[in-house]
Structure 1
């Protein structure tokens, strides 16, 4: 009698930043992870080297439906249906509204909203046939509260929240679908975008967060562990905001 293979998790944007923390936590919880990445080959190779035999990096542009369909088929053929699908890949292309190009709009919407739609559509039939699973979408606080110069990003993340609810309705009870919403999380992108290396900027940001600290990728991994584990088994179609109390929605 042979041991059964570990359950599969697919994480988009899973080789760096928050996505890498999510991949690591799923590995710690006994999953084999296929981590999709868009273009940072060095980060992908490093992630694979850190987790030999447990993490496989695959290059995939989630904004391309044909590429999503082809890569999903390769994953299904090679590993079977995922028990967990994490739609984490995201893109910012901030501009004032009157300066947003068609490309700025489409690239962000296709990555942040259409990508999760295409991925879930590609995997859901096999997940249902295998008995079910979980989909976790990674949202953003700007999906609830708008910001200047982010009409495309805010619209994409607001749409992702509603997509989460629609999928939760249609795929229940076998597949649970929920959304994690990170607040200010300590990643390279956040530090650069918000200039948090400047002590005055950091102090002003902390003044807005009751917990008085910037979150870590591991905080989001903790939430993923909860929402995909036994303790979260009655959660479906929900948003879980991990922001230190900054917004309280």
Structure 2
């Protein structure tokens, strides 16, 4: 973990997976809204350093494996001591390890569940008590996936983990009310480096095949996901909790 520096101005937000892709767009938006951001990352120190250079003193990258409950508890104590209690917690970090079910190892199953589902649990469990005791309303946004509702091949671990995140969201919304609102933000196909590689979107034919399935006729942007985050943490959604917000251009209409 990197050493934390104290800050006094602006409300605090903690964003897991907050140094690249959708998470980085969320960090940028939160800073634009006046938050200080502790952005958790696991492996990509280069992306974290670049984000820190870009976003300046309001941005604090912190290396952490959210699958490790003990490490999360220790890091949360450090964040609370150095930065205070977060007003916003965004559980965005996640991994894919795709395999056909009959070829999936126990380790591949566990690693995805431990990161995507248990990691969300660990962070909520570590920060929610302070958020509840702070005397002010807070917001938790768990980032889900469309495959948490609609299954796909070769992703039993990922689909199960994201379905669990959706149900965890609802349970937390019940138990942390009325002080903390908890909602699930579900992005659809969103233009990130990972998505381009995974779906070969640099191939015009592959991109066209994907786009034909999206009623809006294009792939979404990370800024549009950040727009949804801004809504979910802001006063316009003050009566919204325990819900899922799907930002997918109409690709899946549930």
- Note whether the superposition's TM-score is higher than 0.5: yes
Alignment partner for residue 221 of structure 2, among 216, 224, 230?
Answer: 216
Alignment partner for residue 185 of structure 1, among 190, 196, 206?
Answer: 190
What corresponds to 2:153 in structure 1?
148
Alignment partner for residue 124 of structure 1, among 120, 123, 128?
Answer: 128
Name the stretch that deviates more: 113-122 or 124-133. Answer: 124-133
> Cα deviation per residue 1:52-71 (whole Å; 9 max; x = unaligned)?
11000000001111111111
> Cα deviation per residue 1:157-185 (whole Å; 9 max; x = unaligned)?
00000000000000000000000000000
What corresponds to 2:105 in structure 1?
101
Structure 1: runs of 5 or more not aligned: none
C-alpha distance in structure 1 between counterparts of 2:167 and 2:31, whole Å:
29
Instruction: Report the alpha carbon displacement of residue 197 of structure 1 after superposing the two structures with TM.
Output: 1.1
Q: Is the aligned partner of 1:43 residue 2:47?
A: yes
What corresponds to 1:25 in structure 2?
29
TM-score normalised over the length of structure 2: 0.96
What corresponds to 1:77 in structure 2?
81
Instruction: Report the alpha carbon displacement of residue 155 of structure 1 after superposing the two structures with TM.
Output: 0.1
Provide the aligned C-alpha RMSD in A. Answer: 0.7
What corresponds to 2:142 in structure 1?
137
Instruction: Report the alpha carbon displacement of residue 75 of structure 1 after superposing the two structures with TM.
Output: 0.3
TM-score normalised over the length of structure 1: 0.98
C-alpha distance in structure 1 between counterparts of 2:184 and 2:223, whole Å:
16
Instruction: Report the alpha carbon displacement of residue 5 of structure 1 after superposing the two structures with TM.
Output: 2.4
> Cα deviation per residue 1:123-144 (whole Å; 9 max; x = unaligned)?
0110011123110000000000
C-alpha distance in structure 2 between counterparts of 1:57 and 1:105, whole Å:
28
What corresponds to 1:162 in structure 2?
167
Where 2:29 maps in the other structure, the secondary structure is: helix
Instruction: Report the alpha carbon displacement of residue 217 of structure 1 after superposing the two structures with TM.
Output: 0.5
Instruction: Report the alpha carbon displacement of residue 39 of structure 1 after superposing the two structures with TM.
Output: 1.2
Structure 2: runs of 5 or more not aligned: 1-7
Where 2:213 maps in the other structure, the secondary structure is: coil
Runs (4 or more) in structure 1 with deviation over 3 Å come to: none
